[in-house]
Chains A and B, each alone.
Chain A
């Protein structure tokens, strides 16, 4: 056995060296390249592990209200959607849990030290250029230390001003309206300040009553109707404004960016629909503001440096006005200070090393007064052999300095997490890439986990996730053929979540504590497939499919009656399909989303069974010009067949709904 393996290794090495076209086609960075770097292009073999990306027109036509609507089309992703315009929406990658997912807004992570969850429903797609999802981490060693820490990462990149020759400003005004009494005007302004500097500004107002019809229906086993009721979802209203502005500049050997974000909202929390309760009185006010800046500079041809900084202030007020329940009025204030310094040095043309140090301070006040300081130190290296082999390795050291409290002092934490990524392209012509990675990551206990009244446990350890992944990708791009593009990719993975932070019952009356008890094993397959066809009469037909199989089982304790059962809300099968037709100024899109059967609690018994759901969305877009002014009109029908479904038990989703939009560009 051992000799066999040796032989195999030898063979692989020989293949690598033999087939590789060792051509170090590298050029030092110049400002033109930097410009290109911002524009996301589909380079066939650039990343070790390429991201799943949606951008441009695709993003515009996919039912696009919040970021979550776009993420539904990525493989390996599960979404918790509590329904409606204002409902909470969180994302979980490869069943490892929401807290293992890093969400980056223009390169800096969005945080929530209180509960570790980022409600992506709050992030509008209005100003987003691309949404990318990386399993493991971004395939770029020139990044901040913290970016090496998540099990999976979502990158949200806002629109970057691009001016054609002679242009100095852009103005875009848009309006969307439709079901849920949605009224959503927006404005975007871009201005070229000088040859090397530009600014952008974007504002949006979203107002919706959030009212929609939903239906619950049951039949007896003999087929008789037991009940069939349709009601209107109440208290799901949303009123939100968002302002974003940025200044971007270029230096002879670098670039910089300064960014401001402010979001202010009031919303109703619609709550669970249970017997005799059809309306609840919970309200939520959110104010999220941050300023962030980035400065990147090439010190020499070989040494690059980058500094990121951020200050964020979040205010949340939760009120329960339900006169049948105890009145609650809580305020939470969170502050975050973040600083990162990353450096990359080119040892050889095909060998880079990087080092980064990040610092962060988080504070929570009002409801709970606590703070913590975190330091990250990363080292990484990237090595490539010609155009056929790429290797990346990184190590991240995390040190969490917990506040010393009188009542419950949490111990400081130190954690080292390594990762290795590689990919191999055996042939020059067929664009066929084999890839593999191993990565350890962790999630720190949140403030709630550690200190929440009565429930928190100050002695919690970080929760660890270990990922193993192998995959392959095949691309085919052809000019002058009706079969323009084809791509197939698949990944097999095994994840192991240890010391999972779970709620454990203590004593009586729904009292819990948090313990590092859980253990989950996840085996999965992701498959992606895409093709573009050039049909007669200038019609382009693009297809995209994605399928995920996941077996995510609880292996905590053989004595549990849910031992080796599929964990809650993880379907075995899920997938999506997108079909797009382009003809001149017209664009027609059909998309289908499928989430298979799953269980809403740990035990896989029939009382916890949740049926599959699948929806079809359709949209039509037309661009036109009147007096040199560009117009773009869209019409969408979502949940075309009006399926009545719950993503989360007792949180009904809307039936068929509509949205119309118009954008005017000056």
Chain B
């Protein structure tokens, strides 16, 4: 009898000991890692921001920083710099850019563009844009593409839009309806070129680039290019480089090049179709760095290539810019950029999308310099100058 009571007490004690209590929930902390290069005082750019997308619904979009001066990798900065922002940076980061002294992070599933001081990362404000995707700047204005433009009467015809935002007041000053699910946009002269994907309309993908006259914010033309367009970048010769994701099946990913019809024409036309699959790209001088990931159903694995295209000749210079065999360490490449001064190549690895990714740095010769653990789905990078 007494034994039984004793065992009850003993059990309750054990029960209590094994378990811990709830504590105050702390602000998401910043972590610092030392990077394997020498700190220097005189560098420009002084660092690089990396936006981690975070899986949908996880609210784990985060901003990391590569500190070139002090050789630090600073992980998850936003919450600690802005502890009072409720529920932190947000859900699914999709683009990060700097314009003037401000840093803009497009947070897709939080339906906002977060505006911060580029050097301190402290919050200045936010611009509410539903389902926003990419951002570009021109003459004091930011232009943001968004999957959802008008609230359509016909739900199947939900067109996207481009929003114009004043970068001083952070107010929306204009809006223009474009194609279906527009992704990246580029500005040349008075025109905004928007790559429409139509990704939610499978298999009826969009295949056009919308041309928007930026003062009147009106769509003046739709250029047919290829299905499921994604990235659009201009090179220094005024050509537009556009990537098509294809349909992930019979129609492969491709790169399209658009140029002015003639020297005096304003009209852009497709001049070249490069049969090179491309998932992400970055243009640096005369080189277009890219990688491609293609799933092979039979082999149940991804086929991955890392290449460079000469934008003058439109020829493939190499299909393996990583030369030391370390590309084997990358599970799923997800972002790419190139250091404007040293030519170092940065490639991010998203791994399985629901665990920490990695940032890899390669020299311009394609030798790995270092790697570091990032947040979930590291994707978008921007350099910070003095």
B-binding residues in A (CB < 8 A): 216-221, 223, 226-227, 229, 271-277, 323-327, 329, 453-454, 457, 476, 483, 486, 488, 503-513, 515, 527, 529, 531, 543, 545, 547, 549, 560-562, 573, 575, 577, 594, 596-597, 600-603, 605-607, 611-614, 643, 645, 649-650
The smallest C-beta distance from A532 to any residue of chain B, in angstroms, reads 12
- In Å, the complex CA distance between A492 and B248 comes to 47
Q: Does B38 contact A (CB under 8 A)?
A: no
The 9 A-B pairs with the shortest beta carbon distances in the complex, nearest first, are: A327-B155, A275-B90, A324-B130, A226-B83, A506-B295, A274-B91, A274-B59, A275-B87, A276-B110
CA gap between A476 and B280 in the complex, in Å: 69
Q: Is the CB of A508 within 8 A of B25?
A: no
A220 touches B27 (CB 8 A): yes
B1-60 with Cβ < 8 A to chain A: 1, 4, 7-8, 11-12, 14-15, 18-29, 55-60
In the bound complex, do residue B300 and residue A515 qualify as a contact, i.e. CB atoms below 8 Å apart?
A: yes
Given contacts A272-B58, A488-B7, 16 further A-B contacts (CB under 8 A): A216-B25, A216-B86, A274-B109, A275-B107, A276-B90, A325-B148, A476-B4, A505-B353, A506-B293, A529-B7, A549-B18, A603-B356, A605-B356, A607-B76, A611-B25, A649-B58
Is the Cβ of B87 less than 8 Å from the Cβ of A507? no
B20, A596: Cβ atoms under 8 Å? Answer: yes
Q: Which of A543, A575, A612 makes the CB contact (< 8 A) with B21?
A: A612
Query: Nearest-CB distance from B158 to chain A (Å)?
Result: 6
Contact A329 B155 (CB under 8 A): yes
A661-B280 Cα distance, complex, nearest whole Å: 60
Chain A residue at smallest Cβ distance from B181 = A326
Known: A453-B202, A650-B57. A277 touches B148 (CB 8 A): no
Q: Is the CB of A613 within 8 A of B375?
A: no
Question: In angstroms, how far is the closest chain B Cβ from the Cβ of A36?
Answer: 31
B residues in contact with A607, CB < 8 Å: 28, 60, 76, 375
Contact of B59 among A220, A272, A613 (CB under 8 A): A272
Kindly list chain B residues whose C-beta atoms are within 8 Å of the C-beta of A507. Answer: 248, 279, 293-295, 302
Nearest CB in chain B: distance from A278 CB, A = 9
Partner of A275, one of B29, B76, B89: B89
Do residues A529 and B8 form an inter-chain contact, with CB atoms below 8 A?
Answer: yes
Neighbour of A486 across the interface among B4, B15, B28, B354, CB < 8 A: B4
C-alpha spacing A488/B11, complex, angstroms: 10
Closest partner residue, chain A, to B294 (CB atom): A507
Give 1 or 0 for each of B54-72: 1 = CB within 8 Å of chain A CB: 0111111000000000000
Across the interface, which residues of B come within 8 angstroms of A649, CB to CB?
A: 58-59
A10 to B233, CA, bound (A): 80
**How far apart are the CA atoms of A565 and B29 in the complex, in Å?**
21
Q: List B contacts of A274 (CB < 8 A).
A: 57, 59, 87, 90-91, 109-110
Given contacts A220-B26, A325-B148, contact A227 B294 (CB under 8 A): no
A326 adjacent to B148 (CB under 8 Å): yes
B332 at the interface (CB under 8 A from A): yes
Given known pairs A227-B86, A325-B131, A543-B8, the reply for A221 and B22 (CB within 8 Å) is: no
Query: Measuring CB to CB, which residues of chain B are less than 8 angstroms from any residue of chain A?
Result: 1, 4, 7-8, 11-12, 14-15, 18-29, 55-60, 76, 83-91, 107, 109-112, 126, 128, 130-131, 147-148, 151-152, 155-156, 158, 181, 199-200, 202, 245, 248, 279-280, 293-295, 300, 302, 331-332, 334, 350-356, 373, 375-376
Residues of A within 8 A of B376 (CB): 601
Nearest CB of chain B from residue A531's CB, rounded to whole Å: 6
The answer to whether B109 touches A531, judged by C-beta atoms less than 8 angstroms apart, is: no
Collect the chain A residues with CB atoms within 8 Å of residue B11's CB. Answer: 527, 529, 545, 547
B130 touches A596 (CB 8 A): no
Contacts of B12 in A (CB 8 A): 545
Query: Closest CB-CB distance, A591 to chain B, in whole Å?
Result: 14
In whole angstroms, what is the CA distance A595 to B126 when docked?
Answer: 37
Task: Given A275-B87, A561-B355, A650-B57, check contact A219 B22 (CB 8 Å).
Answer: no
Contact yes or no, B107 A227, CB < 8 A: no
Q: Which residues of A contact B355 (CB under 8 A)?
A: 560-562, 601-603
Give the CA-CA distance A600 to B109 in the complex, in Å.
19
Q: How far is the CA of A573 from the CA of B21 in the complex (A)?
A: 12
Bound-complex Cα distance A515 to B299 (A): 12
A-B contact pairs, 24 of them (CB 8 A): A219-B24, A220-B83, A272-B59, A275-B107, A275-B110, A276-B107, A323-B151, A326-B148, A326-B181, A326-B200, A476-B4, A488-B7, A503-B352, A505-B331, A506-B293, A506-B302, A545-B12, A561-B351, A596-B18, A601-B354, A607-B60, A607-B375, A611-B22, A612-B21
Please give the distance in Å from A34's CB to the nearest CB on chain B: 37
Report if A276-B111 is in contact (Cβ < 8 Å); known contacts: A510-B353, A607-B76, A649-B58.
yes
A607 CA to B354 CA, complexed, in Å = 12
Cα distance, A277 to B28, chains bound together (Å): 19
Q: What's the Cα separation between A413 and B321 when bound, in Å?
A: 44
Per the bound structure, the CA–CA distance linking A561 and B11 in Å amounts to: 36
Find chain B residues with CB under 8 A from A216 CB: 25, 86-87
For B85, B86, B293, which residue has the most chain A Cβ atoms within 10 angstroms?
A: B86
Residues on B with beta carbons closer than 8 Å to the beta carbon of A326: 131, 147-148, 158, 181, 200
What chain B residues lie within 8 Å of A276 (beta carbons)?
87, 90, 107, 110-112, 126, 128
Bound-state CA distance A40–B270 (Å) is 77
Pick the most buried of A276, A327, A597, A645: most chain B CB atoms within 10 A of its CB. A276
Picked from B14, B59, B181, the residue with its CB within 8 Å of the CB of A650 is B59
Q: Bound state CA distance, A218 and B29, in angstroms? A: 11
Residue of B nearest to A226 (CB): B83
Shortest CB distance B327–A (Å): 15
In the complex, A509 Cα to B199 Cα: how many Å?
A: 10
Are the CB atoms of A594 and B19 closer together than 8 Å? yes
| Bound-state Cα–Cα, A46 to B375, Å | 54
Q: Determine if B279 and A508 form an interchain contact, defined as CB atoms under 8 angstroms apart.
A: yes
Cα separation A218 to B85 with both chains bound (whole Å)? 10
B15 touches A545 (CB 8 A): yes
By the criterion CB–CB under 8 Å, are B334 and A508 in contact? yes
Question: A256 to B248, alpha carbons, bound, how many Å?
Answer: 55
B83 contact set on A, CB distance < 8 A: 218, 220, 226-227
B332 touching A221, Cβ below 8 Å: no
Inter-chain contacts of A505 with B (CB < 8 A): 331-332, 350-353
A476–B199 alpha-carbon span in the complex (Å): 66
Bound Cα distance A414, B224 (Å): 50
The answer to whether A508 and B245 touch (CB under 8 A), given A545-B15, A643-B22, A649-B58, is yes
